[in-house]
Structure 1
Amino acid sequence: MAAARGAALVALPFLVAVGLTLLSVPWPGARQCVLRPFTAGAARLTELERRRLARFLDIEVTSDYGGHQALRYLAARTAVGLLGGLVLLAGLAGIAYGTFLLWGWLLGYAFHDLVSVVTSGVGGLFLLFLAVQGVLGVVGLEARLARDVLGPETQDALRHRIEELAASRAGVVEAVHDERRRIERDLHDGVQQRLVALGMLLGRARRSQDQAKARALLAQAHEESRQALDELREVAWRVYPTALDEAGLRIALETVAERSAIPVRLDYGLTAEPVTAVRTAAYFVVAEALTNALKHSGAARVDVALTAVAPGTLTVRVTDDGTGGADPAGGGLLGLARRVAALDGRLSVVSPPGGPTTVTAELPAPSPGGVPCG
């Protein structure tokens, strides 16, 4: 609060100088030239304000603003700063009156009218309460002012949103094509080869005149059919597990952990079942991260944690103790990033050489009756 008041006192003479300069230069064209050093100075002062808001009040504001925006912000911010100064003085007065009975007694004052002293103390405490509420209000006003004045214009925000949606849509289309190619590859290299071998074994059994050999071929064909069925179920599970709809996200993730070739510790911290799109994305983040850990990291253990870190946000974190060096632009992780971005979420991959590797997805998590953001 004191830093904000100091910033207002610094900005006040600066704004007075800007006003006097504008009054002394009546020509619009000349004003633009004269204002250039002032807009540069306003941008520097506003940058200090932006850092103060981020450090002390946890208010994040983009740095993509112009000099004229900075001037408008400083003008409005000075008024808010002076208001905050009045609130601070009211708080100090409330403390003084509210504690007068205590510090007056310590200093040896003679209280001739104790009723008036007590009444003043109660009034001071009430004034202090109002000042605290005023501080909270000024902080909220600072946040709104910074976002409204320094934030992008409405048209710029809409244009940026359209670009994001276009990129997200293109990414989803590409992710769908990648998934189709992966399914085709799995069927061709796995199930199709099993079925070809099964057909050949059955053909040899039919042509064989040796009953013992025919029975052996049929037994081998039966084994091939069993393995083909297992591989087909595996492909279907990777496409979309029925347990996700029938039993929910927790059971589906527990099944993934049980099927994993390396130990997986699941920490499921959600109290409510996410909506379909969110739980599907969360499931595939875990499944793909486990697959990458198994294939590339040489990990001996994987930790999976699902938490609701804030209202409306679900965080999925997968950490392995492998060798690290995962490439976020790789096929699997890139597909995950596109899937998460389609829900207005974020995917981050931290994988230094030597490990560990941490894949974190932040997903919007509306209530089951709502819809995902975007």
Structure 2
Amino acid sequence: MRGMTRRGMRLTVGLLVGAGMVAVELPFIALSGLALLCVYMWPRGRRKVLEPVTAVARCLTESARRRLWFGGADFSYGYDTERALKYLAVRWALGLLGGCVVISALAGATVVLWASTAWMFSTIEHPVDVAETGVGAVFLLFLSLQAVFGMATLEARLARHFLGPTHEKELQRRVAELASSRAGVVAAVNDERRRIERDLHDGVQQRLVALGMLLGRALRAKDETRTVELLRQAHEQSRQALTELREVAWRVYPTVLDEAGLRTALETVAERSAVPVRLDYRLAREPDTAVATVTYFVISEAVTNAVKHSCADRIAVTVNREDNTLFLRIQDNGGGGADALGSGLFGLARRVAAMDGRFRVASPAGGPTTITAELPCA
């Protein structure tokens, strides 16, 4: 509810600013059209007129883009001067309509406040009229608030149509992203295989070699006491080898993820961490297997990196969902300076990119380090 209220306030402010910009955009469009019409048959004069028109159009379009971003509209831009002028020539009508919507909402809120105050603190001679006025104002306020969100969506669609990349450019960008993510997946799989091989070679294999040597020495021993001691050491080595094998299997894929779900798997990560981890899990239902797997590995690896390199004494993990997007946030209070292009974080970025998600690292010197990821989960 708080997030919806905050977004509504931002959209209302954006619509008010957009309505105010009509006072600049409409005269600009009218004067620009008149000036270009006067020099239409004169190429040199047309170029002279286009220079200031282009500069002002760019300025006004960038102002509209920042206003839309403030309201929460998030999409890529790829416009030229001609498309910017077309956008400004159409947008002023939406600006006026948005201003009318906001004024209607303010009028409804004012009448509702007046009716409430009059009902509670004044003697009313015509209570039925006041009640009817209040109900009408509430209805107007409700419709106006709904229209605020509708106008914001309409403005974002208009800007995306005129200022967003063309269909061909969007297809090119998408193909490049898919090619990059596919290469990233292949590289991530190879890195994972190398890591598993290294864990098995440096850990489990060494334990098993030591175990075989101890058993061989126990078979050759003449002294019973010596044999018992060697068997005890062999038993300890087998126990440690089994523990390390379980660790490798857990890092490959935790069975608890399938058996008990994402929340339990993340709680296990927090319990196994050498640094205290505060988990804020806000999902009402379990995401699908692919999203849950990427979520688990991103959080697990991020926590492991923080424990190894950040010198932090606490880590906060947040998992939240808004609409069709899963938001992950891992923050530690360490010294910062994490390299987003390092092998660990770069591998996480590739995992997220393979799911068509977004991955960001903010780690200023002195900390804190904050890792965020957005995963689509329709």
Q: What TM-score does the superposition give when structure 2 sets the normalisation length?
A: 0.80
Shift of the alpha carbon at 1:54? 3.1
CA spacing shift, 1:28–1:134, aligned 2, 3 Å: farther
Instruction: Work out whether residues 249 and 279 of structure 1, in 8 Å CA contact, stay in contact via their aligned partners in 2.
Output: yes
CA spacing shift, 1:229–1:50, aligned 2, 3 Å: same
- Distance in 2 between the 1:325 and 1:140 partners? 39
- Distance in 2 between the 1:265 and 1:117 partners? 53
CA spacing shift, 1:155–1:261, aligned 2, 3 Å: same
How high is the sequence identity, in percent, across the aligned residues?
Answer: 60
CA spacing shift, 1:99–1:179, aligned 2, 3 Å: closer
Question: Hey, what does 1:177 align to over in structure 2?
Answer: 190
Question: Hey, what does 2:241 align to over in structure 1?
Answer: 228
CA spacing shift, 1:125–1:277, aligned 2, 3 Å: closer
Number of aligned residue pairs: 354
CA spacing shift, 1:100–1:228, aligned 2, 3 Å: closer
Aligned residue among 334, 351, 361 for 1:349: 361
SS at match of 1:353: coil
Shift of the alpha carbon at 1:80? 2.6
Residues 290-299 or 67-76, more deviating? 290-299
SS at match of 1:323: coil
Question: Hey, what does 1:275 align to over in structure 2?
Answer: 288
Segments of 5+ residues of structure 2 without an aligned counterpart are 1-14, 116-127
- Distance in 2 between the 1:283 and 1:160 partners? 29
- Distance in 2 between the 1:240 and 1:351 partners? 28
Q: Aligned letter for 2:357?
A: G
SS at match of 1:280: helix
Instruction: Work out whether residues 314 and 365 of structure 1, in 8 Å CA contact, stay in contact via their aligned partners in 2.
Output: yes
SS at match of 1:261: coil
Q: Aligned letter for 1:73?
A: Y
Residue by residue over 1:58-90, the C-alpha shift from the partner in whole angstroms, topping out at 9 and shown as x without a partner, is 334545421111100011112333445666788
- Distance in 2 between the 1:323 and 1:231 partners? 30
- Distance in 2 between the 1:168 and 1:303 partners? 28
CA spacing shift, 1:163–1:50, aligned 2, 3 Å: same
- Distance in 1 between the 2:145 and 2:173 partners? 38
Instruction: Work out whether residues 91 and 132 of structure 1, in 8 Å CA contact, stay in contact via their aligned partners in 2.
Output: yes
Segments of 5+ residues of structure 1 without an aligned counterpart are 102-114, 367-374
Instruction: Work out whether residues 358 and 373 of structure 2, in 8 Å CA contact, stay in contact via their aligned partners in 1.
Output: yes
Residue by residue over 1:116-149, the C-alpha shift from the partner in whole angstroms, topping out at 9 and shown as x without a partner, is 9999999899778766666554443322211111
Question: Hey, what does 2:122 align to over in structure 1?
Answer: none
Instruction: Work out whether residues 324 and 356 of structure 1, in 8 Å CA contact, stay in contact via their aligned partners in 2.
Output: yes
Instruction: Work out whether residues 98 and 125 of structure 1, in 8 Å CA contact, stay in contact via their aligned partners in 2.
Output: yes
Question: Hey, what does 2:326 align to over in structure 1?
Answer: 314
- Distance in 1 between the 2:285 and 2:199 partners? 34
- Distance in 1 between the 2:172 and 2:41 partners? 34
Question: Hey, what does 1:10 align to over in structure 2?
Answer: 24
